[in-house]
Structure 1
Amino acid sequence: MNNMKKGDHKLIQALNRSKVLNKIRTDGPISRIELAKKNKLSPSTVASAVQELIKEGYVSEIGTGSSSGGRKPILLQFNPDNHYLFAVAITNSFLNLAQMNLEARVLRKETYPIEGLQGNAVIERLLELMDDFTAGAEDLERCVGISLTVPGIVSDSQGVLHYNTKLRMTDVPLRQILEDRYGMRTWVENDMNSVVLAERRFGDYAFGNLIYISIGDGLGSGILINDSLLRGKHGGAGEFGHTSVNRSGIRCECGNVGCLDSYISWIAVYSRIITAIATGRPTLIQELSGGDYSKIVPSVYKEALCRGDKLAMDLNEEVAEHLGAAIVNLVNMFNPEALVLGGEMAHGNPELLAMVRKYMDRHAMPILKDDMVFGLASLGEDDKLIGAASVLLQDLFGFTLTE
């Protein structure tokens, strides 16, 4: 029985410490007295948490605040640069590694193409790169851990990637592999879940009911409800690309028919561009890629859009129609405060946003859409790395709901 109590006490201490650290981070510089008041904790609980945090370098004391008579209080502030974390963002085409501070700022990063590797070979390559990357870091004891994100169906509690069709990875115990090799605490999360957290914490969308949709190689979404990630039983919630938009459509590798993925992902748009060029339809894309099909990438498509290319504009409109229909379903079902569009098809494509908005205005329920914030992703090209950092920092700080 005593052991049980001891364990509980340890847990409560850790939670209080997270609370105190988070308050110093959000409201600092702040005095110990204020901390006790704002967190509804006893002064002695705050004092011992602060003492530990100072000793470990998370917090430092700075000058004095103004006092209402009596001694001036010493103020505490958060030190984001005293520790760091390793972020790993696996996508279906790249391995991204970064060292980041505790405010999710990138200190150094490296990006490597996956180049058709699948299954075990992806892990072997990752560990090779991680060995070099961690060797290049000083003071490993100042590292709070490793956070890894990957597309696919992920169990965050077990740290296992259950399923990723494109990389052919099934039931890979990523957390265990990394913890065994580097002896550091490791977090594993789905990439879309991590980016919705990042947009909430570090981006322009500080809403507890938030949906993030990404259009790139494939389609994904991250869904926050009352500040909690919607995961589903197996970590498979948010497989937005595999919602069906056409019952008499193309058969998808997931087993369904007419999946959104087959109509609006970059892969789908790319194959339409190739077909158009092959059938002799004039387009700037042909010229911009120098006639080399392998050079037709999203940035070329967006360049053609900017220059008013008819094919690119037609395809963008088609994407907007399908995407609009799917988004209306989400809005009517989840009634989010905000909905964010990201991924390489959306970055730098404001026309897409405008057309989807127009579609929503026509088709979503007025009460649900009228005050919903709708915009493009705000975190730029490091969004997946900031996402990985957010997963770890969320745990470290125990972010509270009512921030």
Structure 2
Amino acid sequence: MSNTRYVIGVDLGGTKISAGVMPADGSAIVAQVTEPTNAADGADGVTARIAAAIETVIAETIAKTGATRKQFWGVGLGAPGPLDRDAGLVIVAPNLGWNDYPLRDRIVAATGLTATLDNDANCATVGEWWIGAAQGGRNVVGMTIGTGIGGGLILDGKLYHGSSDVAGEIGHTTIDTQGRRCKCGNYGCLEAYASGTAIGERAREALAGGEPSALLVMAGGDLSKVTAQTVYEAAKTGDRIASEVVRETARYIGTGIANLLNVFNPDVVVLAGGVAQAGEDLFGPLRAEVKRRAFKPAVDACRIVPGALGGNAGMVGAVATFMSQQPA
């Protein structure tokens, strides 16, 4: 019988829970399950669903490999923040309706396994750094662009949390002091311009003038159904409005990345989330904007790449962050 040790990674989102099992060497995802979060069930209901997902992937791994439960090292949890990692608390998670919830300890009680807790965007960055597009980087900036914009920082080969666990809030860096209102209450945040939500909003605003567009055709004539995904798809057909929204998005993200290059001088910037699907329509002008705005030595030292792990980055990174916090 193999002595392989396995780690469970959990990526908790506002709409879905992804749980998977990997061997400690990161060589494969042995088992995986995705379940709806059903946040309306409350924190305890969601936690019960997480625990059930963990048991499902453990059972599947045992069936596939013949492993025993003793070979499961523990659980890495990735959750929206802010968090108190030391206490294992989700301090505030607006999309879940949670406040000061002891997620880590509830999972330990439900499964009998050791568990760790980290920010979901940190986990996605670590996942790409461990076995994804940022492998080999010593200083890495990760951006996860979805409903919002999250971020993670690897500095000198270590995940950087800051003094109060809020480092990496890249979406709430300011790119226009008189700009659009962000959901955080501030004005001009990068997230208010370049998140998936904001891309859809900006496209709908551009369509309000009545110009014919493939965007509306793809959305079945319903303006409310125009999303970031619709924009990316329409841009690939050459649609003028969609292409301009993508170019503007590239400028906004490029401006934000240029600021990060001048501050952190990373060797890799990796962009995960739906934005990776935009391809060179986005990444070409984005890199050009960074080149215009950041110092040349910083630009020359840095790769700006789409994530390689897709929707698995957070789960994979949760496995890696667990291992980094445990004695061998």
TM-score (norm. length: structure 2): 0.88
Q: How does 1:10-159 map to 2 (within 5 A)?
A: 57-58=2-3, 82-104=4-26, 105-114=28-37, 117=40, 120=43, 121-130=45-54, 132-134=56-58, 136=60, 138=62, 139-159=68-88
Q: 2:266 touches 2:301 (CA, 8 Å); kept in 1?
A: no
One-letter code of the match for 1:102?
A
CA distance in 1, matches of 2:189, 2:8: 35
Q: 2:11 touches 2:77 (CA, 8 Å); kept in 1?
A: yes
CA deviation map 1:152-201 (0-9, x unaligned): 22233322222223222222211100001111011111122222222222
Identity %: 28
- Residue 242 of structure 2 corresponds to 312
CA drift of 1:216 comes to 1.2
CA distance in 1, matches of 2:162, 2:113: 28
CA drift of 1:289 comes to 2.7
CA deviation map 1:92-115 (0-9, x unaligned): 332112222223321222223335
Range with bigger deviation, 313-322 or 387-396: 387-396
CA deviation map 1:332-381 (0-9, x unaligned): 11111221122112334222111111011111111221222222212233
CA distance in 1, matches of 2:226, 2:40: 22
Q: Residue 170 of structure 1: which of 60, 74, 99 is its match?
A: 99
CA distance in 1, matches of 2:12, 2:224: 22
CA distance in 1, matches of 2:164, 2:301: 33
Distance 1:273 1:133, change over 3 A: same
- Residue 62 of structure 1 corresponds to none
CA distance in 2, matches of 1:243, 1:118: 33
Q: CA RMSD in A?
A: 2.4
- Residue 75 of structure 1 corresponds to none
CA drift of 1:312 comes to 1.2
- Residue 76 of structure 1 corresponds to none
- Residue 346 of structure 1 corresponds to 276
CA drift of 1:148 comes to 1.0
Q: 1:200 touches 1:208 (CA, 8 Å); kept in 2?
A: no
Q: Residue 371 of structure 1: which of 294, 301, 320 is its match?
A: 301
CA drift of 1:260 comes to 1.3
CA drift of 1:142 comes to 2.0
Q: How does 1:245-394 map to 2 (within 5 A)?
A: 245-292=175-222, 296-394=226-324
Q: 1:84 touches 1:143 (CA, 8 Å); kept in 2?
A: yes
Classify the secondary structure of the residue corresponding to 1:300.
helix
* Equivalences, count: 320
Range with bigger deviation, 217-226 or 250-259: 250-259
Indicate the structure (1 or 2) with the bigger Cα radius of gyration.
1
One-letter code of the match for 2:122?
N
TM-score (norm. length: structure 1): 0.73
Distance 1:125 1:282, change over 3 A: farther
Does residue 132 of structure 2 align to residue 210 of structure 1?
no
One-letter code of the match for 1:314?
E
Distance 1:363 1:276, change over 3 A: closer
Which structure would you say has the larger RCO, counting Cα contacts within 8 Å and 6 or more residues apart?
Answer: 2
CA distance in 2, matches of 1:382, 1:150: 14
Distance 1:323 1:143, change over 3 A: same
Q: 2:232 touches 2:277 (CA, 8 Å); kept in 1?
A: no
